[in-house]
Amino acid sequence: MEINEHHRHTGRAAGPELAAGALAALTRRVGGPVLVPGDEGYDGERSGFQVAYRHRPAVIVGARSAADVAAAVGFAGAQGLPVAVQATGHGLSAATDGGLLISTRRMAGVRVDAAAGLARAEAGAVWGQVVEAAAPHGLAPLNGSSPGVGVISYTLGGGVGILARTFGFAADLVRSVDLVTADGRQRHVTAARDPGLFGALLGGGHGLGVVTAMEFGLVPVARLYGGQLVFGEDRIDEALAAYLRWTETVPDTLTSSLALIAYPDIPQLPESLRGRHLAQIRIAYTGGAEEGERLVAPLRAVGPRVGDDLREMPYAESPTIHQDPSDPHAYNGDNALLSGLDADALRQVAALAGPAAPVMCVVQLNHLGGALAAPSATGSVGHRDARFALRLLSPLQGADLETAREVHAKALAAVAPWWLGRSVNFLFGAHGERADAAEVARSVHGGALRRRLDRVKAAHDPENLFRFHPLAGGSSD
């Protein structure tokens, strides 16, 4: 079996063939499947939610346990193979060509300790599982908007969830990380045992090892007031300006985002959406419905709405707020973390990415601040002082990648006066293959933070075995 040329980052040379004896020994050591190209199940194992890109590994290990992960990492090190990892494949940003892929989807255990207010999730668990396990105890995790997103990679990138302004980044509540490092060791990492590695993992952890489980705090939220206000084309300009003014007044207990979507006129969509350009304001407020109604009154004053489903709901229904797609599809996305924003610039973004754009764009503006801006004693989330995150995402079915990137770049240029950097959680697509990949990497973790993360990487993975940083070889949640 041929090993693809994929060692240019380390300078190590790979042998032309993988020894059959070594592969047989690996197969005996692990409880999950070991697959090579041509095997039944190989294509299914390497597929994920992001279908624009797909890993093409020389070997796949479908891990069932931390011991399987350790065996796979040890094998990769001995054979000179780079390592990538995939659970759900939502955040796949650079597909691995050759090397070894560790699939963690079988490691999907979730355990809640209600008395301690803690949850433990294995490497392949998704947020919907944690929400379901915590809800009967009146508790909630700091999950994102989609229940199908993997817990681990989301949290390693920081994790900006639907309760973010109230409780901060998901990474801020992590208590411990079970990790397999490049030497094949299974380690239990905490702030007390290894503060340098622990802090690097929380916000900058892609590429430092394979996380097999994570323990994190839950918050006492059983219900919330939330949903969407949806405005049509004739109200978009007013809604944008009103939303920006409104974010200056709301308490930290209210987290929100604004989405602009120019829906294509296709029969697959409901009649109410076909060919429409809509503004959706998503609300998650941890207070009561009466106060929630008072807080959203300035937004309703914009005028008639296409949709308005704001209500009090059990936290378990929180995925209905954003209504993210659940079917795998192809997409590319970029983002900017901003110190501020004005209505004229936001209207310019809406025009550039609206119905006249050559590709479909979904624009989302997340209101940050609140607990997200609080300094972290241990973590490595960049640009915590950002006030907004502007995100652009384009479906790629029938669309050209370079055209999508050009549209995203023009839209991001409109907000350049407020530019701080990027969020690694919202980089979707093969950004590691871009001509400006080094600049993209610096925009996520710049300056002293980047240098600190580089030192931790050099200490724990000097040969760059793990290529699954989004800008260094392909990772995915």
Whole-number pLDDT of residue 415: 98
The answer to whether the beta carbons of residues 135 and 315 sit under 8 Å apart is yes
Q: State how far the Cα of 348 lies from the Cα of 436, in Å rounded to an integer.
A: 24
Whole-number pLDDT of residue 131: 98
Residue 399 binned pLDDT confidence (cut-offs 50, 70, 90):
confident
Whole-number pLDDT of residue 8: 31
Residue 3 binned pLDDT confidence (cut-offs 50, 70, 90):
very low
Residue 260 is encoded by which pair of tokens?
């602009």
Within a 13 Å sphere around the CA of 453, how many CA atoms are in the beta-carbon half?
24
The answer to whether the beta carbons of residues 102 and 69 sit under 8 Å apart is yes
The pLDDT tens digits for 429-461 are 776 666 676 777 788 888 889 899 999 999 999
Judged by DSSP in three states, 328 sits in coil
The pLDDT tens digits for 83-94 are 999 998 887 766
| pLDDT above 90 as % of the chain | 76
With both helix axes pointing from N to C terminus, report the angle between 447-460 and 195-204 in degrees, rounded to the nearest 10. Answer: 120
Q: What is the mean pLDDT of the chain?
A: 90
Q: State how far the Cα of 422 lies from the Cα of 267, in Å rounded to an integer.
A: 36
Q: State how far the Cα of 95 lies from the Cα of 97, in Å rounded to an integer.
A: 6
Stronger pLDDT, 236 or 18, i.e. the higher one: 236
Cβ neighbours of 178 (radius 10 Å): 20
Whole-number pLDDT of residue 435: 61
Whole-number pLDDT of residue 439: 79
What's the one-letter identity of residue 341?
L
Residue among 140, 130, 121, 204 at smallest CA distance from 444:
204
Residue identified by tokens 């009649």 is: 271
Whole-number pLDDT of residue 94: 66
Q: Give the mean model confidence (pLDDT) for residues 37-51.
A: 91
Q: Give the mean model confidence (pLDDT) for residues 203-226.
A: 95
Sequential DSSP letters for 391-426: EEEEE-TTS-HHHHHHHHHHHHHTTGGGEEE--GGG
